[in-house]
Amino acid sequence: MSRASDRAYSAIRSMILSGELPAGAQLGEEALAEKCGVSRTPVREALRRLEADMLVLRTDTQRSFVADWSLDDVADAFDLRAKLEGMAARRAAERMTPKSLERIRAANRMLHEAISQPQPDIEGFLECNREFHAAILETAGSRRLAALLGTLIEQPVVWRTAHQYSREALHRSHGEHEELATAFARRDGAWAEAIMASHILRAYHAYADAHRGPAAITVREAAE
Amino acid sequence: MSRASDRAYSAIRSMILSGELPAGAQLGEEALAEKCGVSRTPVREALRRLEADMLVLRTDTQRSFVADWSLDDVADAFDLRAKLEGMAARRAAERMTPKSLERIRAANRMLHEAISQPQPDIEGFLECNREFHAAILETAGSRRLAALLGTLIEQPVVWRTAHQYSREALHRSHGEHEELATAFARRDGAWAEAIMASHILRAYHAYADAHRGPAAITVREAAE
DNA sequence: GTAGAGAGTATTGTATACAAAACCCGTTGG
DNA sequence: CCAACGGGTTTTGTATACAATACTCTCTAC
């Protein structure tokens, strides 16, 4: 993190995630360089990385812009994430060790603490949630799967909606994590995969409900 | 493709795919720059892209090496590719248009021509195969899925084993493609997904059979 | 004989200058 | 009114110099 290009990457990324750089904004290399206090060289490198993350879009003439996320794009990303994290959960269940299981359970215990306080600690929740999923991904033991998921996990979307979660939603997450831990303990890959997929897709619908008109919600509820 | 960094990317990539740069070889920026006839700047950019493709590995101290592929890594990659191309096939089936279907069928007709000659045209086969899968991916209409698959499709592995395919194996590929086209015509997403997954996994086993001792083959066959 | 220190070498990281390409905008001709 | 054309401006691409870091190999101390 001490390299200038890493600083530029983090700085630009958090400007995008926080909304300081809104969707569609042009990302001039010179301007960013000045903002980050580095030269254009590391900024260029950071932009390429962000492009790979799909947070930045480049036109056919090499201009960079903050990517905008339509509801379809978000649905897409969650759909993929559900499939891939499902695969990770299955693999993790098949490869589970006592040590990994304990790490996963410890993360969820800390998560429970964070959300059980009078005023839920959302940052703590996010951190524990990240650690929980990271532990699973590591246990899955596929560098390639980890790389693919890397571009899907920290989306602007999740970032900004976590703070709207109700206490009930936070506790439901905790409960699903507990169920996952049980599936892991039993080494039941199919179960773990199914729980994980539903866990991710529930998060998607929480997002979608908050970001589209109530009409769609009605349709969805009617279909259930 | 006229930009120096693109030339460097292609040049280095094909040196890796062809085996001219063997697995584990160190990739010094200066040496590559000289080989490609450009300066270090575009070479650096190319290396970062190849790193994202997982063709190049970097140590914790920023040295780059040609990634080596264990059989497990390859199995991993094919497994992921089967899942993701399966998803693409399902989505494509759901979104199929007459125009897309015709493009897909045309690609497979050309593929059939290429392999039906007295001396099968392997390069032609590869090109038609690429176009066939590209057409499906485009019809699937998910930029993100396309991006994820991008890092999985052109592996050193596939590249170097296609030339060993028997005439029968080539025709089996053509037949599976035909079956896919039928599933697309019926808009049967589940069928398309299943065919595609088995199509990819068959290719994996063709590779694995060629690259490990015959003992494993016996085990595999005994299990069938 | 081995571990550690240190000088010297090789390699990567960053800044900057200049070249090339794209963009903006006013103009002109149909 | 619109499309095509230039010229000035902005933005990106590449080369290069220098700084910082990592590596190598020898020498020394134990």
Q: Is B221 exposed, middle or buried (0-12, 13-18, 19+ CB in 10 A)?
A: exposed
pLDDT along chain A (224 residues), means of 10: 88 92 95 96 97 93 92 90 97 98 98 92 91 97 93 72 81 96 98 97 87 47 35
Identify the residues numbered 162 to 221 in chain A whose C-beta atom is closer than 7 Å to any atom of strand D: none
- Return the SS3 of B157: helix
Does the CB of B61 fall within 7 Å of any strand D atom? yes
Q: Which residue of B has its CA nearest to A152?
A: B144
Residue among A17, A4, A1 at smallest CA distance from A156: A17
Q: Is B64 helix (H, G, I), strand (E, B) or coil?
A: strand
Residue B224, pLDDT > 70, answer: no
State whether A87 and B73 contact (CB < 8 Å). no
Helix (H) or strand (E) holding A149: helix A143-153
Q: What is the pLDDT of residue B123?
A: 87
Cα distance between the two ends of chain B: 47
- With H, G, I as helix, E, B as strand and everything else as coil, classify residue A57: strand
Residue B196, pLDDT above cutoff 90: yes
List, for residues B4-33, the tens digit of each pLDDT value. Answer: 999 999 999 999 988 899 999 999 999 999
d(C-alpha A157, C-alpha A54), whole Å: 13
Residue B162 has pLDDT above 90, yes or no: no
Nucleotide showing the shortest C1' distance to residue B44 CA: C12
**A32 to each of A1, A92, A170, B166, how far by Cα in Å?**
18, 40, 37, 54
Asked whether the beta carbons of A145 and A87 are under 8 A apart, the reply is yes
Side chain identity at B175, as an amino acid letter? G
With contacts defined as CB-CB under 8 Å, which chain A residues touch B148? 80, 148, 151
Q: Do B80 and A73 touch (CB under 8 A)?
A: no
Side-chain half-sphere of A17: how many Cα atoms within 13 Å? 17
Residue A88: closest C-alpha in chain B: B80
Q: Is the pLDDT of residue B156 over 90?
A: no
Amino acid (1-letter code) at residue A65: F
| Residue B222 binned pLDDT confidence (cut-offs 50, 70, 90) | very low
For chains A and B, what is the number of CB pairs under 8 angstroms?
A: 52
> What is the bridge-based pairing of β-strands B64-66 and A64-66?
unpaired
Phi then psi dihedrals of residue B179, to 5 deg: -60, -40
Shortest alpha-carbon distance between residue B62 and chain A (Å) = 11
Query: Could you say which residues 26-65 of protein chain A have a Cβ atom less than 7 A away from any atom in strand D?
Result: 26-30, 40-41, 44, 62-64
**Residue among A49, A80, A87 whose CB faces B144 most closely:** A80
User: Residue B180: phi, psi to the nearest 5?
Assistant: -60, -45
Residue B143's nearest CA partner among A19, A15, A207, A52 is A52
- In the numeric block, the tokens 């296609």 are attached to B162
The Cα B53–Cα B186 span in angstroms is 35
pTM score, two decimals?
A: 0.86
Residue of A nearest to B74 (CA): A144
At a 7 A CB cut-off, the residues bordering strand C are A 3-6, 38-42, 45, 59, 61-63; B 2, 26-30, 40-41, 44, 62-64
CA A41 to C1' C16 (Å) is 10
